[in-house]
Amino acid sequence: MRSSIDRARKRLQDMNVLVVGNGGREHALAWKIGKSPRVERVFVAPGNAGTAEDAENIDIKADDFPRLIRFAKENQVELTIIGPEAPLTAGIVDAFEQTKLRVFGPSEAAAQLEGSKVFCKDLLHHANIPTADYKVFTDGDRAAKYIIDRYPEEKQNVPVVVKADGLAAGKGVIVCATRAEALDAINRVARDREFGAAGSRLIVEERLDGQEASVLAITDGRTIVTLPPAQDHKPANDGDTGPNTGGMGAYSPAPLVDDEMLRWIEEHVLVPTVHAMKRSRNPFKGILYAGLMMTNQGPKVLEYNVRFGDPECQPLLMRLKTDIVDVIDATLSGELDKFAGLEWDPRPAVCVVMASEGYPGSYERGRPIRGLADAAKLPDVKVFHAGTATLDGEVVTNGGRVLGVTAMGESISDAKRRAYEAVKCIRWDGAWCRKDISDKAVQ
């Protein structure tokens, strides 16, 4: 008996872990997993130039489930962690579990929380969780009529948000101020099908005002462990102006959400969501990420994501002291309730995204990046790669968001100063970043 337990322990000591994805979030995950004394090898599929340094890249795309499964079997991968939403909503976790592989993330059914905004809004509504009022349409004309009936004056202020139901790489959300904008947004989603099949249903919802915060939790479907709050910076330019992006920077903790507020969010948002998922027989296992608007009437849910945020993951994991493999292991065994809790470095972390010229519009790839080694020498700094590749032995740009330069400091302003000091070391033709990441925390 004892020897079989010892053998099981031993096996779980020299684990091979596979991370699926190729962005900054996956680099942060691979880096953190690689620090676990229980881990032997970390593979990233397909990865980027940064994950090639901190782990081993595997040339398999995140949507090629059969090859990923074969790789995991052939390489004694004991644990697979899925970074992005697309494979999760396409059922990668179900595919791995069917072949008895251990995998961290929600099932296809549970991932609908992000994959379908209608599913998410209906769940929030039925569970009485605060969120913006909304209406669902399958027909653009009906949605347009609803706007015109509700706002009969052409010049009226129309504070609504139009959303395509499905995944649209963060682009299927159009925030409107006028009637013309709302009608145009409905046309783009329903008639022009700018977001493809994601627009076969659409939501028109009340526009909320306030600051946004990201509250993430890890859950095994019953127990919830909430992570410290973070804040993303979605608009491209300083002062939250310009087009929306995947996120130009993040920091944690976000003082906007104090301990009392975090407990409130846990009780009134996260717990009822996890219970509602369990009741509907789609228990949610993995990372539950609430995108919240802190309104005058309290926090309201803007959306759920079913994975770590990118770039929120980078400052969060830089501060996490607990072995992430232990937490994930406990989650997969349904034993998160026995877990002692997470330990965090009290120092805040700030992540500044450096982007390609033209992003979030079109951009060129293949521009050589200089100064990475100088940035790496700075203390308490980690440069996470997002859109990078290696070409003829050189690290080159290979995406819109290229790097997530992350630093810890004694205060948020100190972490910010250190992050920008590292940014200054790094250059390529057309590189740019926002200059005000984390300023909202210190105002």
Interface contacts to ligand GLY, rule CB under 6 A? 170, 232, 247, 305, 309-310, 312
Q: How far is the CB of 219 from ligand AMP (least distance, A)?
A: 20
> Are residues 285 and 65 in contact, defined by beta-carbon separation less than 8 angstroms?
no
Nearer to ligand AMP, 33 or 129 (CB): 129
Nearer to ligand AMP, 336 or 351 (CB): 351
Least distance in Å: CB of 39 to ligand AMP?
33
Amino acid at residue number 238? D
Residue 277 binding result from ligand AMP, ligand GLY, none, given CB thresholds of 5 to 8 Å by partner type: none
For residue 60 the two structure tokens come to 């398999």
Nearer to ligand AMP, 33 or 111 (CB): 111
Cβ-based nearer residue to ligand GLY, 140 or 311: 311
CB of 241 to ligand AMP, least distance (A): 13
The listed partner (ligand GLY, ligand AMP, none) that binds 47, CB under 5 to 8 Å by sort, is none
Looking at the Cβ atoms of 121 and 307, the one nearer to ligand GLY is 307
Neighbour count for residue 92 (Cβ, 10 Å):
26
List the single partner that 26 binds among ligand GLY, ligand AMP, none, CB under 5 to 8 Å by kind: none
Answer with the entry of ligand GLY, ligand AMP, none that 161 interacts with (C-beta below 5 to 8 A by kind). Answer: ligand AMP
Q: Considering the complex, what minimum distance in angstroms separates the CB of residue 111 from ligand AMP?
A: 15
CA distance 200 to 343: 44
Minimum Å gap between C-beta 386 and ligand GLY is 11
Using the minimum distance from each CB to ligand GLY, give the nearer residue, 309 or 399.
309
| Least spacing, CB of residue 132 vs ligand AMP, in Å | 4
Partners of 389 in the beta sheet?
396
Residue 207 site contact among ligand GLY, ligand AMP, none (CB < 5 to 8 Å, cut-off depends on kind): ligand AMP
| CB closer to ligand GLY, 351 vs 381 | 351
CB of 227 to ligand GLY, least distance (A): 14
Residue (302 or 352) nearer to ligand AMP, CB: 302
| Residue 247 contact partner, candidates ligand AMP, ligand GLY, none, CB within 5 to 8 A by sort of partner | ligand GLY
d(CA 172, CA 195): 6
Residues of the shown chain interacting with ligand AMP in the complex, contacts defined by CB under 6 A: 132, 161, 170, 173, 175, 205, 207-208, 212, 234, 291, 302-303
The item of ligand GLY, ligand AMP, none sharing an interface with residue 220, based on CB under 5 to 8 Å by kind, is none
Q: Please identify, using beta-carbon distances, which residue of 34 and 170 lies nearer to ligand AMP.
A: 170
What is the nearest approach in angstroms of ligand AMP to the Cβ of residue 291?
4
* Partner that binds at residue 312, options ligand GLY, ligand AMP, none, CB closer than 5 to 8 Å by kind: ligand GLY
Compare residues 85 and 380 and give the one whose CB is closer to ligand GLY: 85
Q: Which does 435 bind (CB under 5 to 8 A by kind): ligand AMP, ligand GLY, none?
A: none
Please state the three-class secondary structure of the chain as a single string. Answer: CHHHHHHHHHHHHCEEEEEEECCHHHHHHHHHHHCCCCEEEEEEEECCHHHHHHCEECCCCCCCHHHHHHHHHHCCEEEEEECCHHHHHCCHHHHHHHCCCCEECCCCCCCHHHHCHHHHHHHHHHCCCCECCEEEECCHHHHHHHHHHHCCCCCCECCEEEEECCCCCCCCEEECCEHHHHHHHHHHHHHCCCCHHHHHCEEEEECCCCEEEEEEEEECCCCEEECCCEEECCEEECCCEEEECCCCEEEECCCCCCHHHHHHHHHHHHHHHHHHHHHCCCCCCEEEEEEEEEECCEEEEEEEECCCCCCCHHHHHHHECCCHHHHHHHHHCCCHHHCCCCCECCCCEEEEEEECCCCCCCCCCCCECECHHHHHCCCCEEEEECCEEEECCEEEECCCEEEEEEEECCCHHHHHHHHHHHHHHCECCCCECCCCCCHHHHC
CB closer to ligand GLY out of 245 and 388: 245
Q: Is-contact 430 356, C-beta < 8 A?
A: yes
Which of ligand GLY, ligand AMP, none does residue 54 bind to, with CB < 5 to 8 Å depending on kind?
Answer: none
> Residue 309 binds which entry of ligand AMP, ligand GLY, none, with Cβ cut-offs from 5 to 8 Å by kind?
ligand GLY
The minimum distance between CB 161 and ligand AMP, in angstroms, equals 4
Shortest Cβ 234–ligand AMP spacing (Å): 5
Which residues fall within 8 angstroms of residue 249, CB to CB, at 6 or more apart? 232, 233, 311, 350, 351, 352, 353, 404, 433, 434, 437, 438
